[in-house]
């Protein structure tokens, strides 16, 4: 096969184009920081990176859910802690009642007890940032009717949970409850009724009924305190579960991000060295190509017949 000067010229041009493409690729990798620009650059690594990105996206979704759950469980626990303080204060008022206490003094305690009922109602009927009632179930109704001071029949006891990790749902809403529906104000198993206990205590104090205040009212309020205490504990446990999940998600996200970055991020020191080598190689190729092409022109000129 005859090798002409055009063959060398074409080889030089082809080699130059290939090196230009390699230079452009390296420069892009260095400027963007990504070693994988297209699936064809490294199909196996690209597929693994896509899988890692999917896993990372799932972790980010769970993290977002956990952040929401953190807010909800914290507000539940804050409400139950405040409610516990109210019921505990009611118990202290009743504990101060003596058989020879004057009617006026008992009525003063009755006024304080009525104020506690108002505080309880305010806590139970509070709304979240979305404008919905926190403890009325899914009916979006206030658990206590502010007009009558009794339970609102329109509220329900439905609660919700959020999955903060795969297979790990955490209860993020709690219900106030009412007769026939269990919640932090009412427990059917024990017959405990927090709202009724405080209202009855206020009534007995205002009427000067020391016997009831020292007896049945103390028992009812103690039972109410036990019920609310159980919800302080359960909401604290939910907060802890979310906190642990958030910590694990953070660690997993960091690990997954590092794994993904190691796959697709450009190794700048190595890429810089490779770029310098390729630039030198490219420059040498250009110089060699120039000499070849000059020789080809001289050869051509030598074949031309001088008139």
The per-residue pLDDT for range 115-128, each reduced to its tens digit, is 999 999 999 999 99
Q: What is the pLDDT of residue 246?
A: 96
What three-state secondary structure class fits 181?
strand
Distance CA 112, CA 91 (A): 12
What's the predicted TM-score (pTM) here? 0.74
Q: What is the pLDDT of residue 91?
A: 98
CA distances from 6 to 12, 289, 292, 298 (A): 10, 12, 10, 13
Angle in degrees, 0-180, between the axes of helices 43-95 and 103-124, rounded to the nearest 10 = 170
pLDDT digits (tens, 9 = 90+) for 70-103: 999 999 999 999 999 999 999 999 999 999 999 9
Statement: residue 256 has pLDDT above 90: no
For residue 146, what are the contacts with CB-CB under 8 A and spacing of at least 6?
121, 125
More confident: 259 or 200: 200
| Both tokens assigned to 44 | 């196996």
- Segment 191-209 mean pLDDT: 97
Cα 33 vs. chain centroid, distance in angstroms? 29
CA atoms within 13 A on the CB side of 36: 17
| Percentage with pLDDT > 90 across the chain | 63
- Segment 17-45 mean pLDDT: 56
| Both tokens assigned to 254 | 């960091």
At 161, which helix (H) or strand (E)?
Answer: strand 161-165
Q: What is the pLDDT of residue 129?
A: 87
Query: How open is the CA angle 248-249-254, to the nearest 5 degrees?
Result: 100
CB 229 within 8 A of CB 184: no
Residue with token string 């009632």: 133
pLDDT band at 1 (very low <50, low <70, confident <90, very high): very low
pLDDT band at 68 (very low <50, low <70, confident <90, very high): very high
- Segment 24-28 mean pLDDT: 53
Statement: residue 148 has pLDDT above 70: yes
Statement: residue 174 has pLDDT above 90: yes
What three-state secondary structure class fits 242?
helix
Among 69-73, 198-202, 258-262, the range scoring the smallest mean pLDDT is 258-262
| Percentage with pLDDT > 70 across the chain | 70
Q: What is the pLDDT of residue 12?
A: 54
């Amino acid at each position: 096969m005859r090798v002409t000067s055009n063959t060398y010229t074409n080889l030089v041009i082809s080699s130059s184009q290939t090196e230009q493409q390699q230079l452009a690729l390296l420069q892009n990798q260095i400027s963007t920081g990504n070693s994988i620009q297209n699936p064809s650059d490294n199909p196996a690594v690209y597929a693994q990176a896509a899988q890692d990105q999917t896993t990372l996206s799932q972790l980010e979704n769970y993290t977002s859910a956990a952040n929401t759950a953190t807010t909800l469980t914290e507000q539940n626990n804050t409400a139950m802690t405040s409610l516990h303080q109210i019921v505990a204060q009611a118990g202290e008022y009743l504990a101060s009642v003596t058989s020879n206490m004057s009617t006026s003094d008992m009525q003063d305690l009755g006024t304080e007890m009525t104020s506690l009922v108002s505080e309880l109602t305010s806590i139970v009927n509070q709304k979240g940032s979305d404008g919905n009632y926190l403890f009325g179930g899914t009916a979006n109704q206030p658990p206590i009717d502010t007009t009558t001071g009794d339970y609102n029949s329109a509220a329900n006891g439905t609660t919700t949970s959020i999955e903060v990790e795969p297979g790990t749902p955490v209860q993020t809403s709690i219900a106030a409850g009412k007769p026939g529906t269990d919640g932090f104000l009412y427990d059917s198993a024990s017959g405990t009724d927090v709202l009724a206990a405080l209202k009855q205590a206020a009534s007995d104090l205002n009427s000067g009924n020391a016997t009831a205040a020292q007896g049945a009212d103390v028992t009812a309020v103690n039972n109410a305190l036990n019920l609310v205490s159980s919800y302080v504990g359960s909401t604290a446990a939910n907060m802890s579960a979310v906190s642990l999940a958030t910590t694990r998600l953070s660690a997993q996200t960091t690990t997954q991000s590092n794994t993904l970055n190691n796959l697709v991020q450009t190794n700048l020191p190595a890429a810089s060295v490779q770029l310098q080598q390729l630039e030198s190689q490219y420059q040498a190729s250009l110089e060699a190509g120039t000499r070849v092409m000059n020789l080809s022109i001289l050869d051509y000129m030598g074949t031309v017949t001088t008139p």
